[in-house]
Amino acid sequence: MNQAKNLFRLTKTPWMAAGAILVSLLTPTLARSADDKAVGERLQNSGDVLKELINSHPGIPQNLLNTAECVIVLPSVKKAGFIVGAQYGRGAMSCRGKPEFTGPWSAPILMQSSGGSFGLQAGGQATDFVILVMNDKGARNVLNGKVKLGGEASVAAGPVGRDAEAATTGSMSAQMLSYSRAQGVFAGVSLSGTTLAPDGGANENIYGKKVSGQEIYDGAVQAPPSAETLLSTLNEKSPKNVSKGKP
């Protein structure tokens, strides 16, 4: 009886060891696959949100989009409580290409946000945010690393609807203009205190290597298929930068 038990243990152990080794080899691959899918979905969601907000009324004012250097989309940012800050948001940014932010829109840079007060919001709801980066300095700040809005970069609630044209002169002194959409309501919103930065892990997942925001902007990688809606919307709706002083 003891001999039978010993034989079973000897037979069972190698198979268990082989199974454990197989699982350990497959786990990183499966995790990467899940991460890649999540990042691809984030890019697709960012494109869908931008397309809806550009085509809706009221939505992102066309005259402001036409003078923006970069566009940042943070879809479905979750919050808790009433007067709170955004705990964590993830999205994507595209900037007009070289020279001097006048070319076609760049491959997307995956972004992350944290902190910031969003005022009176219904607890637990998801909110879409769009940020227009209005000048070269603001664009370079975001491309080169973490930026605190209202600190390293000035930000203002973006004007909407009929007020957009009249408010443009005053708002253009800000490096960034920010908007939100929650439960179908679209409005300008102050994101002062929010921190924005390229999401290094997500960029590595989608592009297959470590790459900085500046390198993505410089053309070191090609845009993935999941960015098609985002980029086609930008290139169709605002193919040219019409800011003063731009060629």
Which among 55, 36, 47, 97 is positioned nearest to 73, based on CA atoms? 47
> Confidence class of residue 193 from pLDDT cuts 50, 70 and 90?
confident
What pLDDT is recorded for position 246?
Answer: 82
Q: What is the pLDDT of residues 64-84, one digit of tens each?
A: 999 999 999 999 876 544 444
Distance from C-alpha of 179 to C-alpha of 57, rounded to nearest angstrom: 14
Domain chopping of the chain, boundaries: 52-237
What pLDDT is recorded for position 119?
Answer: 45
Query: Can you tell me the mean pLDDT for 181-209?
Result: 90
Q: DSSP readout, 170-215?
A: HHTTSSEEEEEEETTEEEE---TT-EEEE-HHHHHHHHSS---HHH
For residue 149, what are the β-bridge partners? 153
Q: 2-55 and 200-207 helices cross at what angle (nearest 10)?
A: 100
| Residue 231 pLDDT greater than 90, yes or no | yes
| Residue 43 pLDDT greater than 50, yes or no | yes
φ and ψ at residue 80, rounded to 5 degrees:
-135, 145
Query: Can you tell me the mean pLDDT for 7-16?
Result: 46
Query: Can you tell me the mean pLDDT for 148-171?
Result: 74
Range with lowest mean pLDDT among 1-5, 59-63, 232-236: 1-5
Q: What is the pLDDT of residues 107-129, one digit of tens each?
A: 999 999 887 654 444 455 678 99
Comparing 244 with 69, the larger pLDDT belongs to: 69
